[in-house]
Amino acid sequence: MKAHTKLFFILLFFLCFQLIIFNCFYGENINFSYATKYQNNKENYLQEVSISFFDDGRIFKFDAQKTNENIIKTVEQQKAQKNVFYSIKKLESFGLTNKETICYLIPELQIFIEKLKKSTNIDEKFGKLLVCKNKCALEFQEGKEGYFIDENLLFLDIINSIKNGEKEIKINLNKKSYRTNEKLSEKFKEKSSFSTSFVTSSPERKNNIKVAMSKFDGIILDEGEVLSFNAVTGVRDESAGYKKAKIITNGTFTEGFGGGVCQVSTTLYNACLLAGLDVLEVHSHSLPVSYVEPSFDAMVNVGSSDLVIQNNTGGQIIITSSSENNICKFKIFGLKNKYKITRISEKTKIIPAEPEVIETNYKKYGDYDLLVGEEKRLSYAKDGFYSSGYLNFYDNKGNLIKTKKIRENRYNPTKGVIIKREK
């Protein structure tokens, strides 16, 4: 009995196993409506399929009968092709993607689609940004979007067509995924502009302003990057193209190399304020200057005083400059400003001027050729003062959001000086 029982269970096991195998590969008990029409000719279905791909008026046709017959198919692939409708469902149940399923059933199609991609894909063209030298302007050559076949959609369309029993499959390749090419003109909006005039300056001073300004034209600062005025201009001496012109030293106007460069740093400083940049270091002159309001000047001197700014805008900025028509001008480009910013200068206290003096030791003021008894005025007495600088911030509707005090400064009074030769 035990032997018979054991044999019975072995036979029963093999019978069940055979039924399972038959059901998995050849069973028709699963109801797939899309396969009903082709139940009797599954073996020939894939050999009769042709797929036409349409792209901008062009047609790329794949014909299963005319494809490369030298591709070696495994026994499993041949069996899958004979049972195409059921195989799709089975392959999907294994977690295969639409592409993997189709390429398993029709390996020739993968080669065809690779060629198709080369014929239809378009690479994106990146935009170019050019700085128009000495113009305070940028020129944009916008890029073009590229596109490529979205294979997920492509193979899904093929799968659905096969499930519907279509022999003439038509696929529209207008379904594409686009690579975005960021518009440079949106990335670099004008953030600020500020200018001062040097029309009345001496030829030497004009030269120095133009030399210094050319150093900044086209500088790009990344987010968080810091710019030092002195580091950009370097040592301002004759070898660097600078000439002697008036500078302020120890509270008086004297001659020195680089005279006029402080007008460049002052103009840049104000452009940076209006662009909303962080100013990490700035210094005032000891005397007021004529080209900008009090508390908005920026004195620089290599080794002691610098103008240092930081880009805190959330994106790159580009600094441009122009010295045309004797106008010192800076424009800063970057992401659109959150606020419109304006400046306010306010004198808070007057410091009376010192008494006028007559200097007979006139040679210490320069090489003046005076006759005995002749006088020459070098300067007029002027009051000094204290001042404060403020920034107003407005929203896009013109509403004042806040006022920020940024500086307090003292500008010294000047004494009137007359030189006279007594003997």
SS (H, E, C) 11-48: HHHHHHHHHHHHHHHCCCCCCCHHHHHHHHHHHHHHHH
Buried b (16+ CB within 10 A) or exposed e, 47-73: eebebebebeeeebebebeebeeeeeb
Stretch among 12-21, 161-170, 216-225, 310-319 having the lowest mean pLDDT: 12-21
pLDDT, averaged across the chain: 83
Q: Does 162 share its domain with 145? A: yes
pLDDT for 14 equals 56
Q: What is the pLDDT of residue 343?
A: 98
CB distance 298 to 268 below 8 Å: yes
* Range 248-256 average pLDDT: 54
Last residue of a domain, one of 311, 337, 363: 337
* C-alpha distance from residue 301 to each of 198, 240, 262 (Å): 20, 15, 8
Asked if 325 and 195 sit in the same domain, the reply is yes
16 and 60 share one domain: no
The domain total for the chain is 4
pLDDT-based confidence at 178, cuts 50/70/90?
low
Tell me: do 238 and 369 sit in the same domain.
Answer: no
CA distance 173 to 396: 44
In this prediction, residue 34 has a pLDDT band, given cuts at 50, 70 and 90, of: very low
pLDDT tens-digit profile of 45-89? 666 788 999 988 899 998 766 654 444 555 566 656 556 666 777
Q: How far apart are CA 410 and CA 405, in angstroms?
A: 15
pLDDT of 128 strictly over 60: yes
Distance CA 213, CA 328 (A): 8
Instruction: Name which of 19-23, 121-125, 158-162, 365-369 the model is least confident about.
Output: 19-23
**Looking at residue 87, what is its pLDDT?**
72
Q: Same domain, yes or no, for 112 and 55?
A: yes
Domain end, chosen from 337, 369, 393, is at 337
Give residues with Cβ within 8 angstroms of 85, minimum separation 6: 32, 34, 35, 38, 42, 45, 162, 163
Does the pLDDT of residue 181 top 80, yes or no?
no
Residue 67, SS3? coil
Condensed to tens digits (0 to 9), the pLDDT of residues 202-215 reads 999 999 999 999 99
Quick one: tokens of 149?
């076949």
Domain boundary among 314, 337, 360: 337
Domain match, 318 and 395 both: no
Taking alpha carbons only, the member of 353, 356, 354 closest to residue 416 is 356
The pLDDT-based confidence of 415 (bands split at 50, 70, 90) is: confident
The CATH number linked to 54 is 3.10.20
Share of the chain above pLDDT 70, in %: 78
Model pLDDT, residue 63 = 79
**Given this model, what pLDDT does residue 105 score?**
79
Q: What kind and span of H or E run contains 205?
A: helix 203-214
**Which whole-number Å values give the CA distances from 230 to 235, 305, 344, in the listed order?**
8, 9, 27
Give the up-direction half-sphere exposure of residue 329: CA atoms within 13 A in the CB hemisphere.
15
The secondary element (H helix, E strand) that includes residue 273 is helix 261-274
- Say how far apart CA 210 and CA 242 lie, in whole Å: 10
Contact 186, 263 (CB under 8 A): no
Q: Mean pLDDT over residues 323-348, rounded?
A: 97
